[in-house]
Structure 1
């Protein structure tokens, strides 16, 4: 079966981002290996966009990809920003499962944490815990979790698209998608028509 994964995580925006952990071919190969025998098509938020001045369309592209993905895999190996939280919340609204790669004793997961006046064992950041279908140590395990979710038939039905997401997705579909070669190719690989 062909599956699609939205690669949520930091995007290198310039030279100052050179040290950030980001999605690469290594992470994609690990997910693919873990998801076997399923084939995985990756939806990449860092593909070039045709009109960088169309910020609503850029946001719409990310939300469209989250909406059409089989699952969102979040790279949470280190601190992430606002966009990842919005992607996770949108995925929850769309019914798209979220798999978070958060290694033990990293920013969002700890064996033990002194937190709000108490000690918490096996801590997972509350937002990550609440919005995730699975929290795993690495990208191979993320692919395995993806396969388990799909094989169990645990993909929920699409929820309604709220207006705050709908405007952006409509802008993307109407004014950007037709010239978005990487996304059109991904849809072709998935045997899906744009829209």
Structure 2
């Protein structure tokens, strides 16, 4: 069986990002190992885009990938930014399960935390706890979590306008020239 994973996490954008933890082949290999015998097709937001000036289409590409994914796997090993939060919220709105890689005693998950005047045991950041179907220690465990996802269709969710417009822009004006995404759709047996 084939599943698809949207790789949510920081993208190295230039100088200063070389020390940032990002998705690499190593993380993808770990997910595939954990998911075995499933075959995983990775949807990568850092693939080159044909028209980087089309920001609505670029956002639409990310949201289309979230829509098409069997699951979104979030790299939360360290502090993340606005984009990852939006991807998690979009996944929830689109019915795509979210699996968060947040090792114990990292930014978004702590064994003990004094928080808002109280000591909290087994703390998971509220946004992560609310949106994720699983919070795991590493990428191998994320792959293992993929095996437990339902295989049935997600149902008839209505795509909110804030997601529909950029997805439509991407489908209409960018997808035809997006070779990495077209290849992924082919591997998934999806005809656009």
Which TM-score band applies after superposition, normalised by the shorter structure?
over 0.9
Residue 133, structure 1, aligned to residue 133, structure 2: yes
The structure 1 segments of at least 4 consecutive aligned residues displaced by more than 2 Å after TM superposition are 153-158
Instruction: Name 2:84's counterpart in structure 1.
Output: 84
TM-score (norm 2): 0.98
Is the 1:97–1:155 contact (alpha carbons within 8 Å) kept by the matching residues of 2? Answer: no
TM-score (norm 1): 0.96
Residue 162, structure 1, aligned to residue 160, structure 2: yes
Instruction: Name 1:45's counterpart in structure 2.
Output: 45
- Could you list the runs of 5+ residues in structure 1 that have no partner in the other structure? none
| Mapped partners of 2:135, 2:67: distance in 1 | 20
Deviation at 1:158, TM superposition (A): 4.8
- Could you list the runs of 5+ residues in structure 2 that have no partner in the other structure? none
SS in 2 for 1:15: coil
| Mapped partners of 1:154, 1:130: distance in 2 | 22
| Mapped partners of 2:89, 2:102: distance in 1 | 17
Instruction: Name 2:184's counterpart in structure 1.
Output: 186
| Mapped partners of 2:33, 2:147: distance in 1 | 10
Q: CA RMSD in A?
A: 1.0
* 1:148-191: CA deviation from partner (whole Å, max 9, x where unpaired): 124xx476325211111111000000000000000000000001
| Mapped partners of 1:11, 1:43: distance in 2 | 13
* 1:78-133: CA deviation from partner (whole Å, max 9, x where unpaired): 00000000000010011100000000000000000000000000000000000000
Is the 1:94–1:158 contact (alpha carbons within 8 Å) kept by the matching residues of 2? Answer: no
| Mapped partners of 2:48, 2:93: distance in 1 | 26
| Mapped partners of 1:155, 1:145: distance in 2 | 18
| Mapped partners of 1:148, 1:64: distance in 2 | 23
Is the 1:95–1:158 contact (alpha carbons within 8 Å) kept by the matching residues of 2? Answer: no
Q: 1:173 is matched with which residue: 168, 171, 190?
A: 171
Is the 1:76–1:101 contact (alpha carbons within 8 Å) kept by the matching residues of 2? Answer: yes
Q: What pairs up with 1:40-79 in 2 under 5 angstroms?
A: 40-79=40-79
